[in-house]
Amino acid sequence: MQKVIQQIKEKKGTLLDVRSQMEFEENHIQGAINIPLDTIESQIKTIAELPKPIVIYCLSGGRSGIATSVLQQNGITETYNGGGIFTLNNIINNN
């Protein structure tokens, strides 16, 4: 995962926030894009075209885990559950 985080820091991948649009507007990790969990399946083609790796996060890691599974089941293999926003933000900014 350290290599994946380094790629994200170098802007060679995608940070995907699967929280609601309202949650995203209140607070998100700089550079992240927002595709709420309830729209993931309808956005598979769009997500497949995003730069890899894709690190997915939400508030605590639950929704991002579901999104990671859905994407992997649809052939988007370079996806990782980044867990919760605050933990992931600390990892990105302190490593």
Q: How far apart are CA 15 and CA 8, in angstroms?
A: 7
Instruction: Tell me the whole-structure pTM to 2 decimals.
Output: 0.93
Model confidence pLDDT, tens digit, residues 37-85: 999 999 999 999 999 999 999 999 999 999 999 999 999 999 999 999 9
What is the three-class DSSP state of 50? coil
Assigned token pair, 34: 């927002």
User: Which CATH number fits the domain 2-94, given the four candidates 3.40.50.2300, 3.40.250.10, 3.30.470.20, 1.10.1760.20?
Assistant: 3.40.250.10
**Residue from 15, 35, 58, 92 carrying the catalytic annotation:** 58
- Is residue 63 among the annotated active site residues? no
Which three-class secondary structure state does DSSP give residue 26? helix
3-state SS, one letter per residue, for 34-79:
ECCHHHCHHHHHHHHCCCCCEEEEECCCHHHHHHHHHHHHCCCCCE
